[in-house]
Structure formats: C-alpha cells, structure tokens
Amino acid sequence: MPLINLKTTLQIKDPVRGYIELTETEEKILDLRLTQRLRNIRWPAGVYKVYPGADTSLMGHMLGFLDLSHLLFDHLARDAHVIALARLVSLLLSVARGAWANPMEEYLNGLGATRKSLAVEAIRGTEAGDIVNDSTLSREEVIDALQRGIPVRSIRVDLESVPVNPELMDSLERDAYFAGVDYAPLEINRLFSSLRVAKNRLVISRAARYTLDSYLSAGANMFEAVYYHKTVRAAELMLLRILELAGRELVGSPERDPTEYFAYDDLTFHHVLLDPPSEASEDFLTASDIFNAFRRRDLIKVASMRSISDPQMLKQLSTPEGRRAVEREIAEDVGIDPLRVYVDIPDRPSVMFYPGRYPLSQIAMYERGSRGYEFWEIRDVSPIARGLESPMRTIRVYTTRGYRPRVKKVADALLESHDSAGATE
C-alpha cells in the first residue's frame, strides 16, 4: 500500500495491480474520447499474433503505469502534490501513444515527433488541458514536468527514461501474465524503497543489488521471449511498412497537427485499410494489401538471422536510411521489389523493450558508511548489468512467401561478411 493516499473518486479492478484508484481530475480525463480510444489500441501491437491471451489494450497499461508511478514517487518524494503530478504525467504519456502503438512510435520519430511533444499537444490543444487547469495543478506545471522531468529535491525524474522504470515494470508483469510466460516476478516495493536522491543523482542501495538483478533479468528474458520474438516482430514490421507507405494518408501530419492522430485507434486503421478510398494512392493500395496479409496472419518469414558485433554494420543498421540501403542491396541481388525485404535490429523504437533502452549510467549504487555515502556504478556491482552491455546484436532479414531461399542465400552472405567465424565481441 502507498504511504500517501490521494482523494479518489473511482476504483478500477485490474488483474495485475489489483484495485487502481483515480482522482476526480484523472477520472475526467479518463472519460474523454482522447483517452477512451486507448481501449482499442493494442500494446505491444504484434504480441497477440503469437500469444493469443496477450490481446491487451493500452488502457490497462496506462492504469498500471499510473499506479506504479504513484508508488515510485511515494518513496522518492513523500509529497502529495509531486505524486499527483507524476500520476498525471504518466497518464498523458500513455494518452500520447497512437494506433499501433510501438510501430507508430518509430514512424513518428522519423517525422520528428516524440511522445513528450504529443503529450504536450494533448494538454495544450484538447479538453485535457482545461480539466488540468481546474485542478490543483496547472497546465504549465504539467507541461514543464513532461518536458524536463518531475522535480524531486535537487533532480528531475524523467518517466520516459528513468532506469528503474514504472512503465516498464508494469509492462513486464502485465505482458508476462497475459502471454503466459513466467519471466517477470518483480519485487517492486523493495526496488522502489531502495531508491534515494543523493549528490544530485538517483541512487539505489547496494543491499538491493539482487532485487535490481531480478528486474534486469526479467527485462532481458521478456525481450527474448516476447518483445523480440521473431513472429511478434514480423507482425510489427508489417505494420511499420504500412505506416511508411501510407502514414500521411492515415494520420496526416501529427508533428504539425495531431488532431487526426488523437482521434484514431486500431479499429480506425482496420476500417480504412480494408476499404481504401477511391482516391487512394498506389502506395496506400500496397499498404492495404500488406494489411490484408497481416489480418490473415500471412506474415513475413525470417530468411536469415545472425548475431553480429561489427560496429560499422550496427551503426548503419541503427538508422532507417541504413536499414533501407541494406534492404535495397539484398533485393537488387535477388531481383525482387525492396518492399519484400525487411531488416530488423533490436535497438529501435518499435521494439517495446531491449537491453540498454534505459541507460543504467543514469543511476548509481550507494552504501552509507562511517564517512558518509559511497557510490558505485551499476555495472561495477552487477554482473548482469555488465552482460547486458554486450555489443552483440541479433540481426534478422525477413521476406514474403516464395522468396525465402533466394533471400537467405544473399542475406546470409552479407551478414557473414560482417561477422566472420571466430570474431569476438
């Protein structure tokens, strides 16, 4: 139970977190169409294609994120105003997600739009901002917390990037529960209670290192079993390709005017792509064909896969332009349309979580001795943290049915040329 309780008006039963309570302000935002559309957005977008029980919506994730944000700041701040601010920031960061949540995040990053910038637009340009202004918080205070982090003593805590991350913790437990995998038993209370602010940074007690290791292990296991599962990624890469082809026709220009973006959910895309408008472009019609295959679960297949550590190759594959160049190179050698080749790498925004997404360098371990605080970097204490710093990345090349043998031959040769047998990390 939290140490500080807020005055609440609504209770929602959650299968993972138990009863989650909302304040009057949060309940009013929850009732907006802006927020209710989250019920029809799957997150992560492709997991249900592998694990039928993991057909979860962003609504559940939003509530879990809010609940754990309360718990985190309950331990860090012990201040009702800061806790209310953190809860609202978490809610708005969830509201800022769009249809096909994680593929959409990568698509928007390519346009220069971020989740924070869209959350700010939600509070500036929708009824959510008026609701906030009628509360004990102000629109400007919430925008400042979204952009700079939530103030706790001498630091700002960014809910998007803090390594001991409440959104990730809820996702690990929630996705493990609904997928039916046993990889994410977390001691969340112990982990949060071990956090402090010292010497102008966030630190965690060295006595909690095994609890931290369990959290890091859970993330790595869920990455391997769920978030970077080859079929999960096949589905999400197809959705991302649809956005690359038809994103402007589907959601306009969210980086300039997010009105359409905030109105749409997965069902909207489903309807439009299955019944393209008469004036649809050739790219839109191609996107419609890809979506029909996705809907039938006629997914792209892995043609080649190799773990490599070549820094130049990994640097190239870390950018959309670099991946497209490799896709074109493979397609030209095979003699097929580049749209039929997909190259995937873990370190990209559409992968819900990958080791290294939340830099552990932002946090230190501490122990208080006779001479005051002593500090250690996480990697110097945790062998699991050191292991997660490996430069090795599993690269996959996918293609559509009928081309796998030819694509495999070319892609195998390309990947092997960048990571010959006997190469070291």
Evaluate whether 299 touches 404 at the Cβ level (below 8 Å): no
- If pLDDT is split at 50, 70 and 90, which confidence band does 170 have? very high
Q: What is the pLDDT of residues 20-52, one digit of tens each?
A: 999 999 999 999 999 999 999 999 999 999 999
Asked if residue 256 is part of any domain, the answer here is yes
Determine the structural domain holding residue 74 and report its residue range: 1-299
pLDDT at 373: 83
Token pair 């978030």 in the structure block, residue: 227
Whole-angstrom distance, CA of residue 256 vs CA of residue 272: 22
Percentage of residues in the chain having pLDDT higher than 70: 98
Calculate ∠ Cα 208-221-20, nearest 5°: 65
Asked if residue 3 is part of any domain, the answer here is yes
- If pLDDT is split at 50, 70 and 90, which confidence band does 184 have? low
pLDDT at 3: 65
Q: What is the pLDDT of residues 252-278, one digit of tens each?
A: 999 999 999 999 999 999 999 999 999
Whole-angstrom distance, CA of residue 8 vs CA of residue 122: 23
> Would the pLDDT of 152 be above 90?
yes
Query: What's the domain count of the chain?
Result: 1
Asked if residue 382 is part of any domain, the answer here is no
Question: CA separation (Å) from 247 to 45, 266, 309, 410?
Answer: 16, 13, 33, 30
Q: What is the dihedral of CA 9, 11, 16, 17, to 10 degrees?
A: 40
Q: What is the pLDDT of residues 85-131, one digit of tens each?
A: 999 999 999 999 999 999 999 999 999 999 999 999 999 999 999 99
Average pLDDT over residues 342-359: 95
Residue 264: both structure tokens together: 């749409």
- If pLDDT is split at 50, 70 and 90, which confidence band does 351 have? very high
Q: What is the pLDDT of residues 298-339, one digit of tens each?
A: 999 999 999 999 999 999 999 999 999 999 999 999 999 999
Whole-angstrom distance, CA of residue 119 vs CA of residue 134: 18
pLDDT at 157: 97
Average pLDDT over residues 67-79: 95
Asked if residue 65 is part of any domain, the answer here is yes
Whole-angstrom distance, CA of residue 333 vs CA of residue 7: 64
The residue with greater pLDDT, 425 or 149, is 149
Asked if residue 290 is part of any domain, the answer here is yes
Q: How many CA atoms lie within 13 A of 341 on its CB side?
A: 25
Whole-angstrom distance, CA of residue 37 vs CA of residue 267: 9
Closest CA relative to residue 242, chosen from 279, 277, 292, 278: 292
Evaluate whether 23 touches 6 at the Cβ level (below 8 Å): yes
Asked if residue 45 is part of any domain, the answer here is yes
Residue 348: both structure tokens together: 């990209």
Whole-angstrom distance, CA of residue 391 vs CA of residue 313: 12
Percentage of residues in the chain having pLDDT higher than 90: 92
Strands 201-205 and 195-198: antiparallel
Residue type for position 220? A
User: Considering the chain, what is the average pLDDT of its residues?
Assistant: 94
CATH of the domain at 55: 1.10.3210.10
Asked if residue 62 is part of any domain, the answer here is yes
Question: CA separation (Å) from 122 to 36, 56, 126, 256, 268?
Answer: 14, 23, 5, 13, 19
Cα 162 off chain centre by: 13
pLDDT at 389: 86
pLDDT at 424: 45
Asked if residue 397 is part of any domain, the answer here is no
* pTM for the predicted model, two decimal places: 0.95
